[in-house]
Amino acid sequence: MRKNHRLYLEFFDHGSDEDYSSEELKRIEERKQQIYRLLSDRSLFPQTASARVKFAMGVANLLLGYFGLPSKTYPIQVNTKGPAGFARYLWTALMVFGKHHPDGAFGHEAIVISGSSERYPEEELGGFWSTFSAKSLYETVFKHYLTQEMLVLTENPELFEGVSSEQYKTVDEQITAGKEKIAKELDKEKEKQQHIETLLNNPLLFPKTPSARVKFAMAIANLYLVNKEPPSEEHPIVIEIRNTGETSKIVRYLWTAFMVFGKNHPHAPFNHKAIVVHDCTFSEDKELGGFWSTFSKVSLYETEFKHHLHPSMLVLSENPELFEGISNEVYRTIAEQIRAKEEGPFKSLAQMQAEASTHEVPQNKGLTQASKMQKALCDKPSSAKTSSSTPSIPSSASDKETEQSALELAQLTEENKPGDFKQVFSSYLHAARSGHSEALVSLERLAQEANKDQQLALSQLYGSFFHNDEKAAYWRQKATEIAQPSFDIQFN
C-alpha cells in the first residue's frame, strides 16, 4: 500500500500526502485504524495456540501490507498494548514473513516492537546455524500450525479460526465476527479453569487407589496443556492448591503427571524447571533422580505411575477421562464426568435420562435421513425406561426412526471403519442409549475384545438404561479382570 520506505506508523500524521488521491488516503487511514485496533484491543487475542498463530500471522500480514518491506535502515516499528504474550507472537510472525516475503528477506534487525516487557529477541534467536532457538515460540508452537495460506500477502488475511475471509469480505467484518467468537472461547476457557479448581480442591473427587489417582492426575495435567503453548522455564506452569490434608497429595501426583507429559509432549519437551509448585509440603528433590535418571527410586513415578500409565493418557484431549469407571465415551464433557463422580455412576446416568425427558426437542420434521442419523448421535438419552429388563417402546414413529437411524449409522461405521474399534464401539453405545436392543447384541460381541473403560461403559449402560443388574454386574466383573499393563517411559 505504501509508495515509499519511510516505515513509521505515524508517517501520515506528519508527512506529505501529495502523492496520494483522496480515495487512497481514505483507504490508508482505514487500514491504519484497523491495525491500531488489532494491536491494542485485548479482547481480540485468541485463547488457543493454533488460533494465536493465525491471528499473529494475519496482523503481521496487514502490517507489511501497510509498511512495505522493512530493513535494518528502515525497520518496522510497532507499539503494541495487547495482552501478555501477544508481542512475542507478533514478533515471531514478522520473523516468519522475513523468510518468505516476496520482495526480499529481512531479519530481526528490521523489527522493533515496543510496549511490552517480554524478553525477545534474546530468548527467541538461535545460534549460527539456526534462526530460532530450540525454546523459541517458532519451534514450540508456530511451525506446528503454520499453513501456506498464512504466508500469502493479501488485503484481507484471515485473522480468526472459524471466521472465513471468503464470508467476511473486509477486515472490519472479520473483527466484528472474531470478537464474538473469542468471547465464547473465553467463556469456555473460564469454565475449564473452574472445572480444574473443582477437581483440585474438592476432596470428594480425589480417588482412593493408586491407579485411579494416576489417571486423575494425568487428566488434570492434560487439561492444563491441551491447546496451549508448551511450558518452559521462562513461562512455567504454576501449581497451587488451596486445601490441605488428603487433597494436598494431588500436588505430588500432578507434578509427576506434568513431568511425564514433559517427556512426551507432541510439540516441545519440558522438564522440572518449567513446573513451579507453591506448596511447602512438596519436595521436588525427593522426586528427582541423579545424573542418569529423571526420577529417584522412591519417586511417585517409580512407585506408582509406571505401573498404571497407559498410552491413551498421553493423548492431549479437551475431554480426557478423569475417573475409573466413568467413560468419556458416555460422558462427553468434563462437567458431565464430574457430575457422574459426585452422583455415582449409575445414579448419574439415570439423572441424565430424567433431565433429557424434561427438555425434549420437537419431532424430526423436515430432517433428511443423514441429518436424523447425525442427530441420533448428538441427542441426550431418551426418558427413563419403565421396564426392569427391556427398553420402553418408542412413543412415536419418529422416535423409532431415530433409533433405527442411530443403529444404521453404527453399522455403517463398523462396515466402513472396521479398524477403528473405539469409534465403532462408541457408535453402538450411542445406538443402545437410544433404546435399540439390537445394538446391545453388537456391543456384547465387541466387548469381548474391549478395554476396561469400554466394558465399564457397557456395565453402566445395562445398569442405568436397561435396569439389568445381572448384566451390569457381569461386565463390571469382566472389566476388573483385565490386567493393566505396566507402562514404562524411557527417560534419558
The domain segmentation of the chain, as residue ranges, is 11-182, 202-314
Please report the pLDDT score of residue 441 as a whole number. Answer: 83
Closest CA to 214 of 340, 290, 288, 312: 312
Please report the pLDDT score of residue 24 as a whole number. Answer: 80
Please report the pLDDT score of residue 315 as a whole number. Answer: 93
Please report the pLDDT score of residue 171 as a whole number. Answer: 95
Please report the pLDDT score of residue 468 as a whole number. Answer: 81
d(CA 140, CA 158): 22
User: For residue 394, is the peptide bond before it cis, meaning its omega torsion is within 30 degrees of 0?
Assistant: no
Closest CA to 432 of 385, 489, 372: 385
pLDDT tens, the chain, 492 aa long: 444 333 334 333 334 455 678 888 888 889 999 999 999 899 999 999 999 999 999 999 999 999 899 999 999 988 877 788 899 999 999 999 999 999 899 999 999 888 766 656 777 888 766 689 888 999 999 999 999 999 999 999 999 999 999 999 999 999 999 999 999 999 999 999 999 999 998 888 999 899 999 999 999 999 999 999 999 998 899 988 876 566 568 999 999 999 999 999 988 999 999 999 988 788 899 999 877 668 999 999 999 999 999 999 999 999 999 999 888 988 999 999 999 888 864 444 444 445 444 444 344 444 444 344 444 444 434 333 333 333 333 334 444 444 457 888 888 888 888 788 888 888 888 888 877 777 888 888 888 888 888 888 888 888 877 878 778 888 888 887 765 444 444 444
Please report the pLDDT score of residue 8 as a whole number. Answer: 37
Please report the pLDDT score of residue 163 as a whole number. Answer: 95
User: Which distant-in-sequence residues (6+ apart) come within 8 Å of 312 by Cβ?
Assistant: 321
Please report the pLDDT score of residue 203 as a whole number. Answer: 84
Please report the pLDDT score of residue 48 as a whole number. Answer: 94
Please report the pLDDT score of residue 375 as a whole number. Answer: 42
Find the radius of gyration of the CA atoms of the chain: 27
Say if CB 212 and CB 324 are below 8 A apart. Answer: yes
Say if CB 301 and CB 286 are below 8 A apart. Answer: no
Number of alpha carbons in the 13 Å side-chain half-sphere of residue 93: 30
d(CA 445, CA 69): 65
Q: What is the pTM of this model?
A: 0.66
Amino acid identity of 459?
S
User: Which distant-in-sequence residues (6+ apart) come within 8 Å of 476 by Cβ?
Assistant: 455, 456, 459
Say if CB 439 and CB 407 are below 8 A apart. Answer: yes
Residue 137: exposure state from Cβ atoms within 10 A (0-12, 13-18, ≥19):
buried
Please report the pLDDT score of residue 382 as a whole number. Answer: 38
Question: Any idea of the CA torsion for 194, 190, 211, 315, to the nearest 10 degrees?
Answer: 170
Please report the pLDDT score of residue 439 as a whole number. Answer: 84
CA angle 86, 90, 94 (to 5 degrees): 175
Closest CA to 96 of 62, 59, 138: 138
* Cell numbers for 39: 494491536
Please report the pLDDT score of residue 288 as a whole number. Answer: 93
* Cell numbers for 339: 457430575
* Partners of 239 in beta bridges: 277
